[in-house]
Amino acid sequence: MELLGTAERYSHDYDCYVVRVNNEMYCMDLVEGSRNVTVGRMDLSEYNGNWSNGASESVVIYDFWTKERDGAWSYSLYGYTGGLEYSETSDRLLAIGWGYNQEKLTANGGNSNNMSCNLWLRLVSPDLKTVEEVSLTSYPDRSWIEASNCRILKIDSNKFLVTWQEWNGKTYEDYYKFMFIDGFGRRLTDPVILSTESITGEMILGPDGTIVWSDSDTSGGLASIDPADFDENGHTVYLTFNANGGVLPADETYPEAATRTVTYRHENDGSGETWTCPTPVRKTGKANIFTGWYTDPYDGIKVNGKNLSLYRQTIYAHWKTPPAILSAKPTGVKAKAKKRKVTVTWKKPSAYDRSRYGITRIEIQVSTDKKFITIYKTVKLGKTKKTWKFKGKKKKTYYVRVRYVGKEGVSRWSKTAKVRIKK
């Protein structure tokens, strides 16, 4: 690589993005001194090895309220830049950034409280005569949700990837999101949550068409998006189940493994495929009761079988230790029927047992089969109760059992009492 000339940096200029279109070089520049964002143009045929004279022509595409004409000046910037690309299809430069509504800021005297940052896009003609405004997001004010840290990457002449960070000031949660737009700023896909901790450095379009970037949360430090997985109706989802110390049993499709990745189609209208959560097992350790799938290995949000809209997502099995078995258990359990009313009685736990085992409840189960496969009723009563009634059906046999529920666990079930309602 040969250095063709020198370049000088203007005072208080930063966030510069450069793109070449034919024989012209365009630069989007956030200029602190004049409090605006500009796009400048230089004819490369006139390049003499020194850019110190700057662009031959420029246009302001984003103005800050803090200019002198608004009666104030501040080091606080209420708008930022994210990238510059060119579309051959629309013959427009696509300049992207994020910021507050500058008209509202001016009306508020620069007070941005309760305002939300949104993504802005400017479509600039190559001759710099036309600048069109497009809003890519519309987070309402006072919603606590806003956009920041946006980027744009050209996929082809009429397809661009836009990424940004969505921040919720009420829950302190932040996500990276992305969508595809065309050369006119129109959405080609719905926004999708990107399962990534960070986007470090630049996003690169690889020779196979895959978009790659550095991600501190991804094994190997790289994460990727395949644009072929997306269209205007939906996208492919890659969902990985991590047994988190357990194993996923083998089935007709998959072998036994600690992790498993499934793919399915997400449709924007909700009509896409759904997936079934496998049930993992854990044979070692005290915590071997499976409690569900979560978005984090130790915390996170519980996930159910609905159609997730994330692109690449890993969910983790959570486990808990089974409750301890109390030494004491109910005795003297009896069940008697009078017409259709059944009365269940048992011996009340002694004060010693209530204190020693921390008994807090009496749990009763009623079933129509002696193995309690089908549960007819389950109730929990106060620890000093010793009787309970329920209404059964004619010519039915019921099986009843009782156990103690304590602070540290549960007792074994009592002997089963059997009762039949004749009439």
Kindly report the CATH number assigned to the domain that includes residue 373.
2.60.40.10
**Residue whose entry in the numeric block shows the structure tokens 């004491």:** 328
Q: Give the end of a domain, one of 272, 299, 320.
A: 320
227 domain-assigned: no
1 occurs within a structural domain: no
Q: What is the pLDDT of residue 272?
A: 65
Domain boundary among 320, 341, 373: 320
Residues 271 and 375 reside in one and the same domain: no
Do 36 and 174 have their domain in common? yes
- Verify that 43 and 131 share a domain, yes or no: yes
Say if residue 42 is in the same domain as residue 174: yes
| Mean pLDDT, residues 170-180 taken together | 83
pLDDT at 12 over 60: no
39 — pLDDT class (breaks 50, 70, 90): very high
- d(CA 182, CA 86) in angstroms, rounded, equals 11
Q: What does each C-alpha distance from 78 to 60, 63, 185, 253, 284 come to in angstroms?
A: 16, 10, 22, 53, 55
SS (H, E, C) 292-318: EEECCCCCCCEECCCCCCCCEEEEEEE
Tell me the per-residue pLDDT of 104-145, one tens digit each, with 9 for 90 and over: 877 777 777 778 889 999 999 999 999 999 999 988 887 888
| Residue 272 located in a structural domain | yes
The two beta strands, 375-382 and 359-367, are antiparallel
Contact 340, 354 (CB under 8 A): no
Of 22, 178, 170, nearest to 96 (Cα)?
178
Cα–Cα dist 398/343, whole Å: 12
Q: Is residue 3 part of a domain?
A: no
pLDDT in tens, 250-271: 988 889 999 998 888 877 776 7
Which of 48-62, 113-127, 341-355 bottoms out in mean pLDDT, i.e. has the lowest? 48-62
Asked if residue 116 lies in contact with residue 92, where contact means CB atoms within 8 angstroms, the answer is no
Residue-level pLDDT at 141: 84
Res. 87: pLDDT tops 90: yes
290 and 212 both lie in a single domain: no
Please compute the mean of the pLDDT values over residues 92-98 and round it to a whole number: 94
Going from the C-alpha of 13 to that of each of 2, 27, 54, 76, 121, the distances in angstroms are 25, 12, 12, 14, 20
- Split into its structural domains, the chain has a count of 3
DSSP run (H or E) holding 390 = strand 387-391
Q: Can you give the residue range of the structural domain that contains 399? A: 325-421
Winning range, highest mean pLDDT, from 194-198, 231-235, 307-311? 231-235
> Does 283 lie in the same domain as 171?
no
State the virtual CA torsion across 31, 32, 35, 38 in degrees, nearest 10.
Answer: 10
What band does 324 get if pLDDT is binned at 50, 70 and 90? confident
- What pLDDT is recorded for position 170? 79
* Confidence at 8, pLDDT banded by 50, 70, 90: very low
User: Which residues are registered as beta bridge partners of 378?
Assistant: 365
Tell me: pLDDT of 279 over 80: yes
Provide the percentage of residues in the chain whose pLDDT is more than 70. Answer: 84
* Same-domain status, 313 and 340: no
Closest CA to 30 of 92, 86, 83: 83
Within this chain, do residues 308 and 336 fall inside the same structural domain, yes or no? no
**Residue 395 lies inside a defined structural domain of this protein:** yes
- Mean pLDDT, residues 341-370: 91
Average pLDDT over residues 354-366: 91
Q: Is the same domain home to 191 and 304?
A: no
Residue 26 pLDDT more than 60? yes
Residues 395 and 295 in one domain: no
Q: What is the mean pLDDT of residues 81-104?
A: 91
292-298 contact pairs (CB < 8 A, 24+): 292/317, 292/318, 293/241, 293/317, 293/318, 294/318, 297/242, 297/244
Half-sphere exposure of 15 (CA within 13 A, CB side): 23
Contact assessment for residue 19 and residue 44, using Cβ atoms and an 8 Å cutoff: no
Q: Using the predicted structure, report yes or no on whether residue 72 has a pLDDT greater than 80.
A: no
Q: In which band, very low, low, confident or very high, does the pLDDT at 347 lie, cut at 50, 70 and 90?
A: very high
Rounding to the nearest 10 degrees, give the CA dihedral for residues 109, 119, 184, 18: 90
Please tell me the predicted confidence (pLDDT) of residue 121. 95
**pLDDT number for residue 1:** 45
298 and 332 housed in the same domain: no
More reliable by pLDDT, 219 or 351: 351
Both tokens of 9, joined, read 């940096």
Residues constituting the chain: 423
Among 320, 345, 369, the domain-final residue is: 320
User: What are the contacts of 207-212 at 24+ separation with CB within 8 A?
Assistant: 209/155, 211/153, 211/155, 211/161
Q: What is the mean predicted confidence (pLDDT) over 384-404?
A: 92
Closest CA to 312 of 218, 194, 198, 231: 194
User: How many angstroms separate the CA atoms of 307 and 275, rounded?
Assistant: 7
Banded pLDDT at 365 (limits 50, 70, 90): very high
- Residue 221: the pLDDT is 62
User: Per the domain annotation, does 292 fall within a domain?
Assistant: yes
Answer yes or no: do 246 and 180 share one domain: no
Rounded to the nearest integer, the mean pLDDT of the chain is 83
